[in-house]
A and B are shown apart, each in its own frame.
Chain A
């Protein structure tokens, strides 16, 4: 039911364009444009909805009701907030590095949006099916560090600068276990293509074959998007809001929305690498593949939020020690064990 709804739309669009006499190259271009715009709109709407979800989850955990006034069940709360923030004045403090200061909140959305170009939303539904998809996502995500630092440095504020330093230190430290934990899965499948990795999980999901890697990836992922317990970057009791301190109006909102965008990227990657992507569990194919992908991504996002509202923030030295002395050695050990295990399996002849 509904399995082919999106691929059907793409095929239909191609037929219509071919019928109208559009040359194949131009029609491919138009289809690609439609795909990318659809992804951008979808992700933006999702991000707005995620802010609402975060507040509702938080409220539930704290025995409150949460937003419930604007729209049915408060569903339009974030829309109202965004409209309000759009209307606000963007204050540029004196002696900030103006161009860098204004460019940072715009650029901060670019890396997560670029990563979504290769995320398969269902079977055969990747906007671009790169054969190095996993590597591409990691490469693009690594760009966001310098953009956060741009915001922190250009604000000309000591809290922003401390926040910027923390962003750089934290994201560089946790990028290593993030990448190394994925290596186990890549060794098992022998490919960097997202589609092939998902298809390799038809038997067992890699969360069962690589439980340690999943755990490391998840922890490093929480840290990469700067969320509790690793939200030292914006630790409000120490450095106000870190790199975002001086931002007002939509500039600030862009940072907040980009955080949810990155969280979606990490959740999508968790789903693809460890939770079988769009594959249905127990052969329950009565729901379409894109629906399963969506459920899994939202389950991961819910765990992110759950952790955020139940754990305290850790200290900077604890953060660094945990990253370098626990996560990195564990992920290296995981690679070693995976390699040895693969040879033993081959020797047994499975």
Chain B
């Protein structure tokens, strides 16, 4: 009983993810693309929920749907144009794109065909947050700190850019 519902949920979510991702790429208006991107992210969170990873699902909603989409929104508002109808266009590099896509498909297909998929019988622990925290601050503390450093550099860079614009404004 449980298994059937999980399968149904998986296929519904997978269809939502693929459909919305396709719409993100295909739509001409970048605003609609962003909104479908948010739908895609939320559906991904649903997929995490079916795998009992509720913390990851919440992170997915908070960081991706709640923050990454907002970053794109900031971008859209800063470069406002009169007509938003053709802001997310295709270019003419179809041959190169087809080649890259074919390569990615072949590599993914080959890897997934040759991988030995082992399903573990061990249940997912009830409390995933503690385990993630333990691993993050012990085994993976150096990558974690490097990521923090990267964010700091980005932050300093943003402040520097903002300051420079201001100085120019005074000179003009």
Contact = CB atoms under 8 A, between A and B. Distances in A.
A345 B67 CA distance: 37
Interface in B51-81: 54-55, 58-59, 61-62, 65-67, 69-70, 73-74, 77, 80
Given A25-B1, A130-B54, A168-B74, A142 B129 contact: no
Given A143-B66, A145-B66, A146-B38, 4 more contacts: A100-B32, A132-B129, A136-B54, A161-B80
B67 A139 contact: no
A139 B70 contact: no
A172 B67 CA distance: 8
A192 interface: yes
B58 A136 contact: yes
Contacts of A165: 77
Contacts of B23: none
B127 interface: yes
Contacts of A149: 70, 73
Contacts of A139: 58-59, 61-62, 66
The range of chain B's interface size is: 20 to 34
Nearest to B2: A25
A223 to B, nearest CB: 16
A123 interface: no
Contacts, number: 64
A132 B73 contact: no
B168 to A, nearest CB: 20
Main secondary structure of the interface of B (DSSP, over half): helix
Interface of A: 25, 97, 100, 130-132, 135-136, 138-140, 142-143, 145-146, 149-150, 153, 161, 164-165, 168, 172, 192
B57 to A, nearest CB: 8
Interface of B: 1-2, 31-32, 34-35, 38, 42, 54-55, 58-59, 61-62, 65-67, 69-70, 73-74, 77, 80, 126-127, 129
A135 B73 contact: no
B70 A132 contact: no
A139 B54 CA distance: 11
Contacts of B77: 161, 164-165, 168
A132 B54 contact: yes
A146 B73 contact: yes
Contacts of B31: 97, 100, 153
Contacts of A172: 67, 70
B69 A138 contact: no
Contacts of A25: 1-2
Main secondary structure of the interface of A (DSSP, over half): helix
A131 B124 CA distance: 14
Contacts of A192: 129
Contacts of B32: 100
A140 B74 CA distance: 20
B55 A145 contact: no
Contacts of B65: 142-143, 146
B81 to A, nearest CB: 12
A130 B38 CA distance: 24
15 contacts: A25-B2, A97-B31, A100-B31, A100-B35, A131-B126, A132-B58, A135-B58, A136-B54, A146-B70, A149-B70, A153-B31, A161-B80, A164-B77, A168-B74, A192-B129
Contacts of B38: 143, 146
A142 B54 contact: no
A144 to B, nearest CB: 9
A50 to B, nearest CB: 25
Contacts of B58: 132, 135-136, 138-139
Contacts of A153: 31
A142 B55 contact: no
A143 B64 CA distance: 10
Contacts of A135: 55, 58, 62, 129
Given A143-B66, A172-B70, A132 B35 contact: no
Contacts of B1: 25
Contacts of B62: 135, 138-139, 142
**Considering the complex of A and B, which 7 residue pairs feature the smallest CB-CB distances, nearest first?**
A142-B66, A139-B62, A139-B58, A139-B61, A135-B58, A142-B62, A136-B58
